[in-house]
Amino acid sequence: MKRGELQINLATNIAIISMSMLFATLFMGYAIYRSSAPVWPPMGMMKISLLLPTLSTIVIFISSFFCYFTTANIKKNDFSQARRNLNYSILLGVSFIFLQCLIWSHMKSIGLYTHSGIFASITYALTWIHAAHMIAGLIALVYLKKILKPETSNLIPKAKNIENFWYFLEIVWIVMFLTLFVF
């Protein structure tokens, strides 16, 4: 492995470990709150409808596929196809953020405000923090679009690591989807 590639891989992996610790702390807090509550969601609170979270999951899942194909195209030197797949990935990423806004709007409509207790606190905090990371991920994808030229040095490791970051965000979302909304 070349030095540049190793450096990019290491830096991304360390950054992902750091972010994993942030989310792990949040999930630890969630586990403690939930396990110490007599009922969940607490009395008088409705469960959030699964429709929008499920749609979000499908959207981020497909977006990751396009991200995967982008890197595969770059490896084959097919830059026009890579650009197209990257555009789809970005578009789906933006759609995910839009769906998150709909989830927050839905939460308000069923009376779940930020000050409505720990159930709402957890749901808002995790989705907000994840959405902030998604925006960082989208910026990374737009950056990849900007450098998507054959002459860019270390293009494949850069694309691969941005793809890995996108997967990381997808995995965090899936854990959130299962623990916050499904079970």
Partner 1 sequence: MSGGFNEIHPEPTTFFSKYIISYDHKVIAKQFLWYGIFFLGVGGMMALLIRWTLANPGVPFPVLGNLFFSNSGGVVPPDTYAMLFTMHGTIMIFYAITPILIGAFGNYCIPLMIGARDMAFPMLNMLSFWFAFLSGVVLLASFFLPLGAAAGGWTSYPTLSTMIGSPGAGQTLWCVAIFLFGISSTMGAVNYVTTVITLRAPGMGYFDMPLTIWGLWLTAILNAIFVPVLGAGVILLTLDRVFGTTFFLAGASATSGSGDPVLFQHVFWIFGHPEVYILILPAWGIVSDLLSFFSRKPAFGAKATALSMTAVTVLSTLVYGHHMFTTQMSPLLTQSFMTLTMTISIPSAIFFANWLGTIWKGSIRFDSPMLFSLGVVFVFGLGGLTGLHLGTVTTDLYLHDTYFVVGHFHYTMAASVLLGGFAGIYFWFPKMFGKMMNETLAKIHFWGTMIPLNGIFFGMLMMGYAGMHRRIYNPFVYESLRRLIPVNNIVTTSAMLMGVFQLIFVYNFIRSLRKGPKAVNNPWNVGTLEWTIPSPPVHHNYDEIPVVRCGPHELGNPNLKNGRDFQYQTEELVKG
Residues within the interface to partner 1 (CB under 8 A): 1, 3, 6-7, 10-11, 14-15, 17-19, 21-23, 25-26, 28-29, 32-33, 36-45, 113-122, 124-125, 129
Residue with Cβ nearer partner 1 (1 or 77): 1
Residue with Cβ nearer partner 1 (65 or 113): 113
User: Which residues contact residue 142 at a Cβ distance below 8 angstroms, ignoring those fewer than 6 apart?
Assistant: 90
Report the candidate in 60, 68, 29 with the shortest Cα–Cα distance to residue 131.
Answer: 60
Residue in this structure with the two tokens 């905090």, named with its chain if needed = 125
| Residue 96 burial (10 A CB sphere; 0-12, 13-18, 19+) | buried
The SS3 assignment for 175 reads helix
Residue with Cβ nearer partner 1 (25 or 105): 25
CA distance 36 to 116: 18
CB of 27 to partner 1, least distance (A): 10
Residue with Cβ nearer partner 1 (40 or 88): 40
CB of 62 to partner 1, least distance (A): 29
